[in-house]
A and B are shown apart, each in its own frame.
Chain A
Amino acid sequence: MTVKSSRKTSKVSLLVLSVLAIIWLLPTIGLLITSVRERTEAQRTGWWDVILNPLSQKWELGSYASVLSESDLGKSFISSLAVTIPATILPLLFAAYAAFGFTFLTFKGREFYFALIIGLLVVPLQGALVPVLKMFISFTEKTGIEISGQYAAAWFVHSAFAMPLAIYILRNYMMTIPNTLIEAARVDGASNFTIFWRLVLPISVPALASFAIFQFLWVWNDYLIAFVFIGSERPVLTYTLLSLLGTYGEGWQQVAAGSFISLSIPLLVFFSLQRYFIRGLTAGAVK
């Protein structure tokens, strides 16, 4: 670790960085201001007019009300949650089991399987979409059970593509658990199942939390999987937002309001759990 006190604070650095930070914030602030301005005002002047002439402004939340009532946005919000929550919890469960197996159990082909998983870290999603879609369709033809268009279709695909990173992060974490702890539990007669649930899983909570946040944001923000496997039947937020963008084009406030509604959850997650999020990023740096 470095010694903090030896670091001098620099006024120049602060100035440069602050200017950069303002530039970084401007796009989002512009959107926020646009979404709460009175409709004709927003079409007539740029959003920075609010800062230049703060007193002559008209504000309203009408675009939020209208985007919720006139479009599928409210429904999409629920769809997004219904896709995202299981698509976060399920891979967590799968990956935790597998990471335990890779860390604490010995079996034939362990190295091979793990190398395979590392290789799959970067495999493009696009390569799998069409055959999986065809597989779901032929499954429905044979059994009559609908998968495509249901939330579950997206859960499967999201879970599968989350596996490499999740296993990688969790295994790295589990490797820091002292082996003596596991051995002691074994000597006491605990089965692997018990050791996993009672010992390893509780210790791994920080890593689980990091990955959960990562996965939650990834699924919430995903467009492609939701478009291909769920589509218009239960449109998620990104889907609805993109069609709003297509309908109204630029400069339309409903799109701005809708965008902010879809941003609200990620921002909430980000600001409340920032520390875990950053820890997770650092752990998965190799992806």
Chain B
Amino acid sequence: MRDLFTALQAVIAGIAITALIYFLLNLLIHRLPERIKRRVEPYVFIGPVLVLIGLFVIWPTLQSIRLSFMEEEIDGSTKWVGFQNFKDLFAEDYFASMLINNLMWIAIVPILTVSLGLAIAQLANNVGPRQEKILKSIFFMPMTISFVSAAVIWRYIYAYAPEGGEQIGLFNAIWTALGGEPQTWFQIEAFKLNNILLMIILIWLSAGYAMVLLSAAIKSVPEDTLEAGRVDGASTSQIFFKIVLPQIWPTAIAVFITVLIGAMKVFDIVLAMTGGNYNTTVLAQTFYLEYFIYGNTGKAMAAVVLLILAIIPVMVYQVRHYRKFEAAR
């Protein structure tokens, strides 16, 4: 009960203080002469956000980059070490497999998620409105589940019991029913199978997202373009690939990029399922491990810088895309 009270107090105070800041800022500028007021007023509206972003996003990110070239002493002081942290990170025995894992995540997850989402969206388009609504909800529901809960859910699927014991994991139950020996799935490093099993979880979580956006795009394809195809005698698959697909392409790309970024930053799933063991670690997991578990600030920051470097091309693409979009408006 006391927890509830303190929590409530904090919630109310936090919201009230923020509202008050805006109110006071507004009061303040209304005392200024009209000419100056006109100049200053926009910054009342965007200023707090610029401060927030500057203080909690931009400055710390630059600081992380700086720290990746520093070594931290016990007393908290730092000294410049050049690329030593990166060299240390590259020399770790997990480094090569980590990089391959990250590449696999971004090569496999986005393409499968978008394809699956597209297939579901297209199929759902011709099952009748009521069925469509129910079925789409089912695919979409995992989007509301946290990575940690998803990990709990999937641990039950991949659970293992020694031979002779009853298999309560669905995978092993099916596998043994087919005559196989029970497997500890997460330890199978051949063909990176354990990594792929982790990827399935992210695909399961995000296919619904892809479906929702692609379904909206499919529904906005003008009927007369489809009709024109039919009149010309095109088959169903021809209509889909030659008429529908080109028109929903921009949406497919947008979804692809969103899922790609998610796959690049993947962390919680790996942490909760394997902790990065059995060669399943990824960049974001390495950062977590090096900083919070081993206390190697330098190496952790080097991992973060690699992550940022990987995301920069996407960032550039986003800004360019926005510029084009804005120019067309």
Contact = CB atoms under 8 A, between A and B. Distances in A.
Interface in A43-83: 43-48, 75, 78-79, 81-82
A9 B127 contact: yes
Interface in B14-58: 14-15, 18-19, 22, 26, 30, 39, 41-46, 48-50, 52-53, 55-58
A14 B132 CA distance: 9
A255 to B, nearest CB: 6
Interface string B109-148: 0000000000010011111110100010111111111111
Nearest to B18: A90
Interface in B299-327: 300-301, 304, 307-308, 311, 314-316, 318-319, 321-323
Nearest to B297: A130
Interface stretch (B98-106, B155-163, B187-195): B155-163
Contacts of A120: 53, 57-58
B42 to A, nearest CB: 4
Interface residues of B, number: 118
B48 A192 contact: no
Contacts of B321: 286
B168 interface: yes
Nearest to B275: A246
B297 A124 contact: no
Interface string A235-259: 0001001100100001100011011
Contacts of A199: none
A127 interface: yes
B267 A224 contact: yes
A256 B265 contact: no
A2 B223 contact: yes
Contacts of A281: 209, 212-213
Interface of B: 3-4, 7-8, 10-11, 14-15, 18-19, 22, 26, 30, 39, 41-46, 48-50, 52-53, 55-61, 63-65, 67, 120, 123-129, 131, 135, 137-149, 151-157, 159-160, 166-170, 173, 204, 207, 209, 212-213, 216, 219-223, 226-227, 251, 254-255, 258, 261, 264-265, 267-268, 271-272, 284, 287-288, 291-292, 297, 300-301, 304, 307-308, 311, 314-316, 318-319, 321-323
Enumerate the 10 nearest inter-chain pairs by beta-carbon distance, A residue then B residue, closest first. Answer: A101-B45, A221-B146, A160-B56, A82-B7, A131-B60, A131-B63, A107-B42, A128-B60, A266-B144, A98-B49
Interface of A: 1-4, 6-10, 13-14, 16-18, 20-21, 24-28, 30-31, 34, 42-48, 75, 78-79, 81-82, 85-86, 89-90, 93-95, 97-98, 100-102, 105-107, 110, 113, 115, 117-132, 135, 150-152, 155-157, 159-161, 163-164, 167, 191-193, 196, 217, 220-224, 227-228, 238, 241-242, 245, 250-251, 255-256, 258-259, 262-263, 266-267, 269-271, 274, 278, 281-282, 285-287
